[in-house]
Amino acid sequence: MGDDEEGYGGNHKQQEEEFPKWLPRKDRRLLQVPATSIQADIIVSKDGNGTVKTVGEAIKKAPEHSTRRIIIYVKAGKYEEDNLKVGRKKTNLMFIGDGKGKTVISGGKSIFDKVTTFHTASFAATGAGFIARDMTFENWAGPSKHQAVALRVGADHAVVYRCSIVGYQDTLYVHSQRQFFRECDVYGTVDFIFGNAAVVFQNCTLNARKPMNLQKNTVTAQNRKDPNQNTGISVHACRILATPDLEASKGSFQTYLGRPWKLYSRTVFMLSYMGDHIHPRGFLEWNATFALDTLYYGEYMNYGPGAALGQRVKWPGYRVITTPAEASKFTVAQFIFGSSWLPSTGVAFMAGLST
C-alpha cells in the first residue's frame, strides 16, 4: 500500500468524499487544508508565539457546549502534560498539529501509578464532535508497566485523521460512541486497540511491536457486553504489519488479530493486508472457552501472507464472510450509522466496501 500519502493526491472533492457524510462539508475541507492556512481559534506554541503555551490551557480556554467548530492549532513540539481531557462539555473541538512525529502529545501514566486503565490515557476526549489531525499521541510508560493508554476516545462522531498513536499494552482505547480513524498509524503489543465503540479504521496501519517475554500480541480486544449493542471494531482496507524489532524476532513471539475481552466481542477485518507475523489461527482465546460461541469475529477478502484461512480457529463465533451484503454491515455507511443508532435524519451515507 506504499506510504501514508498513497492514493491521496486527488482533488478536494474526491478527498472530501472519503470522509463520512455526517462530517459537514466545512469540516471535511478543514481536514484537507494546511494547518498554517487555517484561522485557528486558539494557537498552542511552546515558545510563547501562540495564544497559550500548553494543550491543557487551550482545552480550558475553549468554550463549553459550542455548536460551531473550535479550532485548536498545536504547533510542533513535545507536549508532556499527563492526562489531558476534553470533557463532555467541550464539544466540537478540532485539534490540528504540524504532522505525525512533529506535534506530539505525550504521557507516561500506567496502572503502576495505582490508577485504572481508563485513567492512564495521555489524552482523552469525550466531548461530541472531537476531531484530531496530523499529530502523535503517545504513552511512553513502556511494556513492563503493562496497561498504559496513549489515546482514549469516548466522543460521539469522533474523527482521528493522519495521526500516530503509540504505546505498548492498551495503546488506543476506543471506549464508546461512533468513531472513524483514517490514515492513522497505531503501535502496540497486547490488546492495543480495545474498547466498545462503534469504530471503523480505514486506510490505517496497525503495527505490532516486540512484546515482553512470554507475552502474546493481540491487535484488538473488543468488549461488547450485550448482543443488542451496535458496537464493534471494523478494520477496513488497512495494513496489519510488524515493526522492525518484532520482525527481527517474530519467531519468538505470537501475534493475533484479536481476543474476546467480553462475552459478545465483535471485530471484523475486511480487504486488509496481513503480514506473516499474524499467527495462522488468526485469533486467540481470552480464557479457555469464554465467549467462543457468543463472539462475532469475521474476515472478508483480506490478503497477504498472514491472511490465509486454512488454519484459522474453528470457534462457533468465527466466520469467513463470503457476501458483500454481510461485509457491508461493517462499513462506514452502515456500521457507524445503523438504523437503531440514528432515527431518520435524512443524512446520506457514503458507499461502503469499495476501496
List, as one string, the DSSP characters of 81-118: -SSEEE-TTS-SEEEE-S-TTTEEEEE---GGGS--GG
Mean pLDDT of the region 304-322: 98
More confident residue, 89 or 349: 89
Mean pLDDT of the region 200-229: 96
Residue 98 among the catalytic residues? no
Quick check: 21 pLDDT over 80?
no
Quick check: 276 pLDDT over 90?
yes
Q: Which CATH superfamily is domain 78-335 in?
A: Single-stranded right-handed beta-helix, Pectin lyase-like (2.160.20.10)
Per-residue pLDDT at 319:
98
Per-residue pLDDT at 27:
62
Round to whole Å and give the CA distance between 144 and 36.
Answer: 39
More confident residue, 348 or 160: 160
By three-state DSSP, how is residue 48 classified? coil
The whole-chain average pLDDT of the chain stands at 89
Round to whole Å and give the CA distance between 270 and 328.
Answer: 10
Mean pLDDT of the region 134-144: 97
pLDDT-derived band at 278, boundaries 50, 70, 90: very high
**Per-residue pLDDT reduced to its tens digit, 158-187:** 889 899 999 999 999 999 999 889 889 999
C-alpha cell read off for 29 = 475541507
Q: How many residues in total does the chain contain? A: 355
Least confident of 9-18, 137-146, 162-171, 208-217: 9-18
Quick check: 139 pLDDT over 80?
yes
C-alpha cell read off for 240 = 496489519
**Which residue shows C-alpha cell 454481510?**
326
Mean pLDDT of the region 270-285: 98
Quick check: 346 pLDDT over 50?
no
Per-residue pLDDT at 36:
73
**Segment 181-184 long-range contacts (CB within 8 Å, at least 24 positions apart):** 182/18, 182/19, 183/4, 183/8, 184/160
Q: CB under 8 Å to 14, separation ≥6 — which residues?
A: none
Per-residue pLDDT at 81:
95
pLDDT-derived band at 227, boundaries 50, 70, 90: very high
Mean pLDDT of the region 19-47: 77
Cβ–Cβ under 8 Å, residues 203 and 272: no
Sign of the CA dihedral running 288, 292, 297, 299:
positive
Q: Burial letters for 141-161: b for 16+ Cβ neighbours within 10 Å, e otherwise?
A: bebebbbbbbbbbbbbbbbbb
Q: What single-letter amino acid sits at 251? A: G
**What are the domain boundaries of the chain?**
78-335
Per-residue pLDDT at 38:
78
Quick check: 199 pLDDT over 80?
yes
More confident residue, 134 or 5: 134
Cβ–Cβ under 8 Å, residues 156 and 92: no
Choosing from 98, 185, 191, 226, the catalytic residue is 191
Per-residue pLDDT at 16:
47
Distances (CA, A) of 165 to 174, 196, 307: 12, 18, 24
Per-residue pLDDT at 29:
66
Per-residue pLDDT at 78:
98
Per-residue pLDDT at 18:
62
Alpha-carbon dihedral 221, 193, 199, 101, rounded to 10 degrees: 180
- Residue 221, CB-side half-sphere exposure with 13 Å CA sphere: 22
Quick check: 2 pLDDT over 70?
no
